[in-house]
Amino acid sequence: MTVEAYLNPDFTALKKLVFLLVTLIGVGISLLFVYFVTRLVLRKNISERDRKRELISAFEDKTQRFFEMIIAGTSVMSFSCAYVVINHINTLVQTKVAGNLTPMEQRLIEVWAEGKDFILLLLICLSCVINTILDSLIIPLKKLTREEKATMRMLAMFFVIIVLMYLNYIGDESQYSPVMMYYFGLMVGRFVYFDASFKDFLGALKNMFFNLPYMVLNLLLTGLLCAFGFSAGYLLERNYYIMGIFYTQIFMLVVIFIIHLVWMIFTFKGNKNRNDK
């Protein structure tokens, strides 16, 4: 079993460019929706100048929350995909479908069989590291506090749980129960930890509720892009639906990186022009 077995050989560079453009349009429409909602809820009893400044600041804040939702969702999804791939390969070996393993591959299979739970914990830690690298270094979301990022990451787990529940419902062959239990455990731990008060619990619940629209928007966008990808033949059902969802999340990640880069360039030029004046 090789990595190529989980890829689509017909997904050429031109098709990837088309899918990237479709993803860009989808993210752009999502941001337009966020912009109009931001304008709708903005205070009316302020001057036009202050209103414009407050609109830009509020829109940037909401955009970064949406971007964090996509980043965290991709990071969490990477763990789920890793579990599906490794577990699938292990199943093929155990049922004698795959053979002629190298000593290294055989050793990896033995390690997985003996310490699956510890490996799952390690993969969760790695997904957290990936998340931190993405939202701190590659796509730095500086307007968000640590608490706000933590809330979006918790919602990302809820996002993936919903996806896995749907995949189980439509009868995907993979077994997602262990992954879902880990995510449920992490979410419960986020709400109820050993020194948490009832006030802390209500605060975490309120933060999650007010940021819930970003998760819904991410679900809708991911679902529509996946529907397009599968119908166009860019994503393959035989490679597991979750792999197609993960590929879609990667394209969304590339798009928000481009948008963030363009935003930073325009912001830098705007600040430079104001300083020159």
In contact, 276 and 44? CB cutoff 8 Å: no
Geometric angle at alpha carbon 109, from 181 and 76, rounded to 5°:
35
87-146: per-residue pLDDT in tens?
777 777 777 666 676 777 677 778 877 887 788 778 888 888 999 999 999 999 989 998
> What is the structure's pLDDT at 67?
97
> What is the structure's pLDDT at 177?
73
Alpha-helical (H) ranges within 115-240 are: 116-133, 146-169, 177-191, 198-210, 212-231
> What is the structure's pLDDT at 58?
92
11-26: per-residue pLDDT in tens?
889 999 999 999 999 9
> What is the structure's pLDDT at 172?
56
Burial of 276 by CB count in 10 Å (0-12 exposed, 13-18 middle, 19+ buried)? exposed
Burial of 156 by CB count in 10 Å (0-12 exposed, 13-18 middle, 19+ buried)? buried
Average pLDDT over residues 165-188: 72
End-to-end CA distance of the chain: 62
Q: Please give the mean pLDDT across all residues of the chain.
A: 83
Residue 216 predicted with pLDDT over 90:
yes
Report d(CA 266, CA 258) in Å as an integer: 12
Report d(CA 253, CA 134) in Å as an integer: 9
> What is the structure's pLDDT at 1?
46
